[in-house]
């Protein structure tokens, strides 16, 4: 299976948010499962500055977009079994920031057009292009547009991952031809039209072969007006191809036992280092060095959907509890001013840094006791998973990926891996913060068991990569995993995704710490054993049982064009011949 992952940011090259973390980890996890994977992203100034010497220039070509005829250079780099391609155009990408320019539409229109245009020069003709958010939303549109004239474009299937539906790429329909080089029909038939605007994300949701929201709960929420930013009816219309594969985190990078960026290493078996990290954090932030005061942490962009209004409402009540509060983040002025002011009211007990700072964030994940994330909406959320990995117990609102990853503490049966509340109400949040703080102070043994359960959760990418591959298999009609490697039984992606990671953690608790080993073991462990009751005598029955998973592995509800695989293969073969020798002009 050949997959091209198109993204506007990826760790370690360039990052503004969670998309970069996903794009930095998922491709190599897909490659580790046996897929051929390439990633394509813009060659921003910061990529050239930091990675320029490692890049190989392959070729250049010209991209036609509306009336423009624009240069596009192609660079590449090999890393972790994945080929990384960078598309170069200095006019568009040699700028200090990734986004925030008045011509962002034109820049990412160019990027999406160039992804399709440069396919001839890549090492393979992809079976699937996975695009992400509005910046690459035009890729499925251009493929369909080109597919009208050239059959080979019709062989490529597209999937769209929605990381946050709030950002849709909305423009005046007037610019359709001029900026994006598309015919008026795309707006007239409504494909790219939404509330009178040209809407790139809507077009991609309609045209992609599958749409993936980044958690099972978010996939459901997107059908509701409260969460969908006016896209609910489109999402409901596309429900048949909507999936919710939970993101993972890089379990190797975020490993408290090995992480060189934290003051002292620790693990679930030996937590002494965590106390040292806490003392270090308190010194760093100017908090009183009280080992027994629970440190509650917030590491977040300071924007409204992160639920900060709840904290503003009850901050003084929170600070009546025997706890300390650490806040790291920047964003909207009103929140920055509030937290700055509030910290001055509680010297030694509350500390705030209005900054985006990776190093300090790691000191906080390692040193804090509780991690507060009361988001109004949260497609997936990665920081709660990182916090859990570092033994910092999350307190979250039950929305999106927070709901899928954090399960409420239940004292009576000593279960759960964090604290949760359902309603977007400050008193409900205060109630669980109080519960958490007093569990920490009054029942340290119960708290440390809870902490261990949080640390044992399996958020490895291998699990999600398998689910992505099943979606790709569904849209291409290819069998995945290849029949000889097929496990005994697989559930369709959407159903599998709804199995909670906490459930997976049961087996992970006993599994060895090394992420890869755990990942390898997770497959057979997750797959239910073939029914023992089946009559063993019949060879034929057995055989059928072995062959069954290949069929079942394809997500249900997908209509498939007969013969599409053949067409895909043929097209791939033909193009490969054409495309193997990169032009050097």
Per-position b or e across 98-117, b if 16+ CB within 10 A of its CB? beeeeebbbbbbbbbbbbbb
3-state secondary structure of 562: coil
Q: Residues with Cβ < 8 Å from 29, sequence gap 6 or more?
A: 248, 461, 462, 464, 465
Rounded Cα distance, 460 and 63, in Å:
38
Rounded Cα distance, 181 and 174, in Å:
11
Rounded Cα distance, 325 and 350, in Å:
5
Tell me the closest approach of the beta carbon of residue 428 to ligand GLC, in angstroms. Answer: 21
Rounded Cα distance, 261 and 246, in Å:
27
Tell me the closest approach of the beta carbon of residue 16 to ligand GLC, in angstroms. Answer: 9
Q: Which helix or strand (DSSP H or E) is residue 551 part of?
A: helix 539-552
Tell me the closest approach of the beta carbon of residue 135 to ligand GLC, in angstroms. Answer: 13
Query: Which residues between 147 and 186 bind ligand GLC (CB under 6 A)?
Result: 163-164
Rounded Cα distance, 60 and 57, in Å:
9
Residue 29 or 315: the one with the smaller Cβ distance to ligand GLC is 29
Which ranges constitute the DSSP H helices of 286-405?
Answer: 308-318, 333-345, 358-367, 383-389, 400-405
Residue 214 or 343: the one with the smaller Cβ distance to ligand GLC is 214
Residue 11 or 279: the one with the smaller Cβ distance to ligand GLC is 11
Tell me the closest approach of the beta carbon of residue 266 to ligand GLC, in angstroms. Answer: 25
Tell me the closest approach of the beta carbon of residue 18 to ligand GLC, in angstroms. Answer: 3
Window 195-224: contact mask with ligand GLC (x via CB under 6 A): -------------------x----------
Query: Which residues between 8 and 47 bind ligand GLC (CB under 6 A)?
Result: 17-19, 22
Residue 76 or 384: the one with the smaller Cβ distance to ligand GLC is 384
- Angle at which helices 272-285 and 358-367 pack, to 10 degrees? 130
Residue 8 or 247: the one with the smaller Cβ distance to ligand GLC is 247
3-state secondary structure of 158: strand
Rounded Cα distance, 213 and 232, in Å:
13
Among residues 287, 285, 349, the alpha carbon closest in space to that of 322 is found at 349
Tell me the closest approach of the beta carbon of residue 160 to ligand GLC, in angstroms. Answer: 13
**Is residue 72 involved in binding ligand GLC (CB under 6 A)?**
no
In the list 28, 130, 247, 300, the residue contacting ligand GLC (rule: CB under 6 A) is 247
Window 355-394: contact mask with ligand GLC (x via CB under 6 A): -----------------------xxxxx------------
Tell me the closest approach of the beta carbon of residue 318 to ligand GLC, in angstroms. Answer: 24
How many residues of this chain bind ligand GLC (CB under 6 A)?
13
- Chain residue at closest Cβ approach to ligand GLC: 18
Binding site for ligand GLC (CB under 6 A): 17-19, 22, 163-164, 214, 247, 378-382
């Amino acid at each position: 299976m050949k997959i091209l992952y198109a993204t506007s940011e990826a760790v370690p090259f360039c990052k503004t948010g969670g998309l970069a973390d996903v794009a930095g980890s998922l491709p190599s996890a897909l490659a580790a499962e046996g897929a051929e994977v390439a990633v394509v992203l813009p060659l921003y100034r910061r990529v050239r500055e930091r990675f320029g010497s490692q890049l190989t220039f392959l070729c250049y070509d010209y991209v036609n977009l509306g009336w423009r005829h624009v240069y596009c250079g192609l660079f590449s780099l090999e890393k972790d079994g994945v080929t990384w391609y960078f598309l170069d155009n200095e006019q568009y990408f040699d700028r200090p920031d990734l986004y925030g320019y008045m011509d962002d539409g034109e820049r990412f229109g160019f990027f999406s057009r160039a992804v399709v245009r440069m396919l001839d020069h890549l090492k393979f003709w992809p079976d699937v292009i996975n695009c992400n958010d509005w910046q690459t939303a035009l890729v499925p549109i251009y493929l369909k547009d080109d597919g009208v004239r050239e059959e080979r474009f019709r062989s490529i299937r597209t999937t769209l991952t929605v990381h946050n539906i709030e950002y849709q790429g909305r423009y005046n329909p007037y610019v359709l031809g001029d900026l994006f080089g598309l015919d008026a029909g795309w707006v007239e038939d409504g494909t790219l039209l939404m509330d009178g605007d040209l809407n790139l994300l809507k077009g991609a949701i309609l045209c992609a072969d599958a749409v993936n929201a980044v958690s099972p709960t978010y996939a459901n929420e997107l059908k509701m007006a409260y969460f969908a930013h006016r896209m609910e009816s489109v999402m409901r219309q596309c429900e048949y191809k909507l999936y919710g594969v939970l993101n993972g985190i890089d379990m190797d990078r975020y490993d408290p036992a090995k992480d060189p960026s934290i003051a002292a290493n620790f693990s679930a078996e030996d937590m002494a280092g965590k106390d040292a990290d806490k003392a270090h954090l308190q010194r760093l932030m100017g908090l009183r060095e009280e080992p027994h005061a629970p440190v509650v942490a917030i590491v977040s962009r300071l924007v409204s959907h992160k639920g900060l209004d709840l904290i503003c409402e009850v901050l003084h009540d929170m600070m009546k509890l025997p706890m300390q509060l650490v806040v790291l983040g920047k964003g909207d002025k009103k929140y920055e001013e509030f937290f700055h002011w509030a910290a001055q009211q509680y010297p030694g007990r509350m500390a705030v840094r209005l900054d985006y700072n990776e190093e300090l964030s790691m000191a906080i994940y390692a040193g804090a006791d509780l991690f507060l994330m009361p988001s109004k909406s949260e497609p997936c959320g990665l920081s709660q998973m990182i916090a859990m990995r570092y033994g910092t117990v999350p307190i979250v609102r039950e929305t999106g990926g927070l709901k899928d990853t954090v399960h409420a503490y239940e004292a009576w049966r000593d279960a759960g891996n964090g604290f949760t509340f359902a309603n977007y109400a400050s008193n409900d949040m205060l109630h669980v913060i109080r519960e958490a703080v007093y569990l920490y102070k009054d029942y340290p043994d119960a708290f440390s068991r809870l902490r261990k359960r949080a640390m044992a959760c399996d958020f490895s990418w291998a699990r999600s990569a398998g689910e992505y591959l099943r979606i790709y298999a569904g849209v291409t009609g290819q069998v995945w995993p290849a029949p000889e490697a097929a496990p005994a039984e697989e559930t369709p992606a959407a159903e599998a995704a709804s199995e909670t990671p906490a459930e997976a953690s049961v087996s992970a608790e006993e599994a060895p710490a090394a992420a890869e080993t755990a990942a390898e073991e997770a497959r057979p462990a997750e797959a239910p054993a073939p029914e023992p009751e089946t009559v063993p005598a019949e060879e034929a029955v057995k055989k059928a049982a072995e062959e069954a998973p290949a069929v079942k592995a394809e997500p249900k509800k997908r209509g498939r064009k007969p013969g599409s695989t053949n067409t895909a293969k043929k097209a791939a073969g033909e193009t490969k011949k054409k495309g193997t020798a990169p032009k050097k002009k």
